Every structure is written in C-alpha cells, then in structure tokens.
Structure 1
Amino acid sequence: MIAKLTKTYLLMTIQAKTVNEKFLQVDGHKIRYLESGNFEKTLVLVHGLGASAERWEQVMPIFAEKFRVVIPDLIGFGYSDKPLADYTIDFFSDFLEKFLQTANIRSPYLIGSSLGGQISAEYTATHQNDVDKLILVSPSGVMKQSTPALDAYIMAALYPNEQNAKNAFELMEGSGESVDHRIVSSFIKRMQLPNAKLAFMSTILGLKNAEIITKKLPSILTQTMLIWGSDDPVIPIHHADDFVSSIKDCRFVRMDGCGHTPYVQAPREFSEKVLDFLGVY
C-alpha cells in the first residue's frame, strides 16, 4: 500500500459547521487535512504557496452544504510533514494522486488556488478520467518574473514577523484594507515550524525551474472554470489569457475588486460562482 489512513484526532468548528481534522500517511509522511459535509460527491480544495487548509475556511461551510469537502495541507506546508525533498510540481502532483487514493476520493470536483491551481492543472492534464470538473483560481505556472507582492510574501516567509507578514498579506489582497490578524498570526506560526522555510524556498526554486505550463494545458479535456481577481498583484490577471486560450473547455470569471484570494475577500460571491458552475446552486 502507498499509504494508510490513521485515526481522527479532533473536531473543529468553523463558522458553526463541524469540521473533522484528520491525518493520513502518504509515503510514510503524516498529512493533515480537514473534512466537512456528508455527501456522496467530493469537492477537494488545494491551497497555495505557504498556506494551509484554513485558507479556505470562509467557503468551506458553504460548500459543505452540498458536498463532502476535503482540504489537505499540502506536503511541506501547514501541519503536514515537511520532508527534505525537491518540491517540484511533479512532486506535488504525485502527492495529490497518492492523497486522493488514500482518502478514497474518486472523480472529485477539484479547486486549486495559485500554486494549488498549477498543481491541480498538472494533475488533471495527466488524469483526465479522475477529475469531474476543475476550477483554477489565479493559478501559477505561466508567470516567470516576480512581482512586488510576491517578493514581499517570500520575505515574510523567510523572516516571519508581524510587520513582514502584515505587509505581505495586505499587498496580496490589493484592496488597501487591513487583513484579519488571524491570517497574519497563523502564517507566522506555521513558518516557524521545523523545515517550513526549507520547503517554501524549495518550492520557489521548483517553480522557477519548471517549464511554463502552457504546453500541458491543451491536454486538459475536463470542463474548467478559471477565476481571477481583477486587482491581483501577485499573479496579474493578464496571465489568464494563457489559460483561457489553451484549455479547450474553459469558462472565465473575473472577480472585480478582489486580489489574489477572492475566496477570502468575497467568499459568498466566490461560492455562488463555483456552485453555479458545478450545477448545484
């Protein structure tokens, strides 16, 4: 067996919805994930660089009204193990395959944000029959030059203090409004965990050395929706053109007034667009 599911450790509550915190083993590494909802159809959400499952906490209870929602902490991030490894896109795509197998998830709806979007796109491109519908949120994979917001985020990861983290998240949001202190403090806490910085920087190097994803996108035959914040300062919205023009069946949704994480800034609007695309709204 590739991995073995272990016991449920505790229960959490996010916005009055019961959420199970669970752990399983993938290639001998402990992987944490959150689960909510008791439905046959599964919706899997994949977070971005340096984040954790909690990044989706505002939309999770909405989706859990319609689906079994599963949100892993990617290997190397959150409270999953952080082995010494080359954190390439192939490494993450392979991890996602093994995680879905171990969690007994077949043909899910798959949503990936930023790095999680690139991972989800790469996985779908090589697993056409294993993803029912695909949703990409400001995915990485085509931008080869950094932006000031991304530079600030990398600085916050390397030197995780309140000033750096607050500055980075405010830049990424792009609205000029203050960021929830919980987001800042949880990021600082996670980046101070053993090997967190090594996994983060290995991922940055993996992204830098990866081929532009455009060549692989035509292989995605799965019905896809692309969501992008109009004011995204991390991966600017003009990069959406590469995805829309390369994926055969791709619906594009622009979320005005949002930055890099519209599911954090406008969770209700984001959820409505997703549920409409999935045909359950």
Structure 2
Amino acid sequence: MDRNDSRPGLPTQRRSAARLRAVPSHEPAVSFRVIHGYRRAYRIAGSGPALLLLHGIGDNSSTWHDVIPRLAATHTVIAPDMLGHGLSDKPRADYSIAAFANGIRDLLSVLDIDSVTLVGHSLGGGVAMQFTYQYPELVDRLVLVCTGGITREVNPLLRMASLPGFARAVRLMRLPGVAPAVHAAATAARPFTHHLHDADDLMRIVSSLPDAENRTAFVRTLRSVIDIRGQVVTGLDRCYLAEAMPVQIIWGEHDSVVPVSHAPLAHAAMPNSRLEIFGNSAHFPFRDDPERFITVVEDFIASTAPHEFDHARWRRLLMDGMSDRALKGNDWTRSAVLDAMGSAERSAT
C-alpha cells in the first residue's frame, strides 16, 4: 500500500454543484433520458458536488448499491447504465471506450453538470481514463478501481469469451440447472486456482444477460477491448497528461479478472496518484469491503482540490511527449511501464 504524502488544499465547489437538482433520498432513484434516440438509464441520489460512478463490462449501476447511500450524504451521486448495459438501450452501436466516453459527456451535458469526480471500475475505469483524456476540463478527480486499460493480462475466461460461440454458451447457461451446476463446480475449484476468486460476481453478470439483445451488446463491448491475447487497448501512453489530476487507484489483492500487478504500473504512470491495495478483496472491492472503499474515497476527496484544466500546459505536454522521468517507482516498475507502452501488440485509444 502506498499513499502520496502531498495533500493539496480542501476542494472548492464548482458552479455545477449549486445548479444540480437535489435528490432528497440517499437511496438512488432510477431515471431515464433519451439521447440521440437511445434511452439512457441512470441512478441518482443526494445533493452537492457531482460524483459519477461507472460500472464494468456486463454489469450495471446496481453494482454500486452498497456505497451510493453513504456517498450521497455529501454528493450528488450519478451512476449510469452505460449504453448496452442494464436498463439502457442496446442498439447495434459503437461500444468502444471512446464511444462510452462520448455518451457520458452527453449525459452530463443533459444533466447540466460542469464537472465531476469520476469513479470507474474495470471497463468503467478504462472509460474514465478515456473520458479524462478527451474531456480533462470536466474532471475534478479520478478514482480507478481494478481498472482495465493498463496492460494485456486479463482473466482467461474473458479472453475465451471474445471468441465466436460465446453468446451460444451463455444461452445454454439459461437452461434449468446449468447455472447452479457451473457455480458449484467453480466453487469447488476455487481453492486450486486464483482465476475463480471472482466467480460469484462473474456468474451474477452472466446471469444478467437474459436475451439475445443483451448478449450481443455484451459481446460487442467485450471484443472492443479484449481478444484471445488479452486486453487490446492501453491508456499508459497518455497517463502523463494527467500530471496535475488527483488520482486515487484502488485494487483488490485477490483480483482474478485484472491482476493486482497492474496497480503499481498505473501508479507509476500517473504522477499525482495514490494507491490503496485492499488485502481481503478481489475484483469488486466496493462490494467486498464497502466501508473501507467509502472511507478511502471520502478521504481522497476531502484532502484534494479539484483539478483546474490548464490548456497551455496541456498543449506543452502534448508537444513534449512523455519522458521516463515522469514515471514513479523503482527501476523494475518504470521499465515494466515502458515495456507495456512500447509493446507491438498494444494499441492506444
């Protein structure tokens, strides 16, 4: 576990916080907006500065159920179902992380929100990094939870799911007795392989794909970020642009979906980041240990000032490019970051 010692001044509220409609209950209410002809679902609760929660692949906004009420005591919490997920529409559309970032930008515009503290889990972490790259002026702070988009390694089951035939396999899981049998087998095998630490949550996600429309959207999303070799996009080559962005990285030590070895790489690549490893958690630390998760997020927000975008500085960084001097950590970590960025198999988003 590693935390930066720097503690900038207390955050100042931006004008968006004053304009946000107060949602009296701390329990999230599901709302809908139609944007570009597609229905977008989101949960909203609380009042105050905006805090946006982005779920992972195949998941939906209900995954944040254990943490929204507490966070909503001091913030307006918005948790969308990204397009193709949950109660949002599932069109034949672009499911790349750049497209998801555009969709989040449009939702914030419709809700009249100028800036947010952005929390992204797994795929949502990759979307959060992409959103920060595309719209840095809209991000106050960034919280990355077991994020995708660092380097290639990912659970072998997800790599296999990118192959043809996965949708048919999921359809078989809907047959009576099949899902319980698979779950029992995974539970029995869990002591013998770390790849099954998150089996319960992965089964929950697969079980939430009830029809062909849901399965197709899941597969299209998966193939935009994963193939048989692993993750196919990385944000490491652009993390240096977030040098002034307060970043909190959270990872579960037993993560079987995106390995915890990615955490120090992300920490080294993001100059203004802190890192928390949850020793008793896997890929869903906000579900495994919600109290600690809330405490870390609240402490991070309370001890950092919102990012102020400097266009001139951004332009200079783009012109100068990344220097290895910007990387933190020991020689091995710095070398691993540079190797991941320079791999011929990697493609930036």
CA contact (8 A) 2:59 2:86 kept: yes
Q: Which residue of 2 aligns with 1:229?
A: 252
Pairing partner for 1:94 from 102, 127, 136: 102
Letter in 2 for 1:32: A
For the residue of structure 2 that corresponds to 1:195, the secondary structure is helix
Q: Which residue of 2 aligns with 1:22?
A: 31
Pairing partner for 2:213 from 195, 198, 221: 195
CA deviations 1:144-176 (Å, max 9, x no partner) are 244245458876983444334677798777289
Q: Runs of 5+ in structure 1 lacking a partner?
A: 1-10
Residues of 1 paired with 2:195 and 2:78: CA distance? 25
Q: Which residue of 1 aligns with 2:324?
A: none
CA contact (8 A) 2:83 2:90 kept: yes
Give the fraction of aligned pairs with identical amino acids, expressed as a percent: 26
RMSD over aligned CA atoms reads 2.9
CA contact (8 A) 1:45 1:72 kept: yes
Residues of 2 paired with 1:191 and 1:213: CA distance? 29
Residues of 1 paired with 2:218 and 2:198: CA distance? 26
Q: Runs of 5+ in structure 2 lacking a partner?
A: 1-22, 304-349
Residues of 1 paired with 2:198 and 2:96: CA distance? 31
For the residue of structure 1 that corresponds to 2:261, the secondary structure is helix
Residues of 2 paired with 1:173 and 1:251: CA distance? 28
Moved more, 245-254 or 46-55: 245-254
Residues of 1 paired with 2:40 and 2:255: CA distance? 30
Letter in 2 for 1:30: R
Q: Which residue of 2 aligns with 1:242?
A: 265
Residues of 1 paired with 2:66 and 2:44: CA distance? 14
Give 1 or 2: higher strand fraction. 1
TM-score after normalising by structure 1: 0.83
Q: Which residue of 2 aligns with 1:5?
A: none
CA contact (8 A) 1:143 1:235 kept: no
Is 1:139 matched up with 2:157? no
CA contact (8 A) 1:42 1:108 kept: yes
Is 1:204 matched up with 2:222? yes
Residues of 1 paired with 2:40 and 2:59: CA distance? 14
Pairing partner for 2:87 from 68, 79, 82: 79
Q: Counterparts of 1:1-281 in structure 2 under 5 Å?
A: 17-37=26-46, 39-148=47-156, 150=158, 158-159=170-171, 160-161=173-174, 162-163=179-180, 164=182, 174=197, 179=200, 188=207, 190-208=208-226, 210-220=232-242, 221-279=244-302
Letter in 2 for 1:234: V
Please say which structure displays the higher CA radius of gyration: 2
For the residue of structure 1 that corresponds to 2:78, the secondary structure is strand
Residues of 1 paired with 2:234 and 2:186: CA distance? 25
Q: Which residue of 1 aligns with 2:320?
A: none
TM-score after normalising by structure 2: 0.67
Evaluate the alpha carbon distance shift between residue 145 and residue 186 of structure 1 in structure 2; reply closer, same or farther with a 3 A threshold: closer
Kindly tell me the number of residue pairs found equivalent between the two proteins.
Answer: 260
For the residue of structure 1 that corresponds to 2:95, the secondary structure is coil
1:266 deviates by 0.4
CA contact (8 A) 1:173 1:261 kept: no
1:185 deviates by 5.9
CA deviations 1:180-227 (Å, max 9, x no partner) are 8xx956752x30145211111111111037432211211223110000
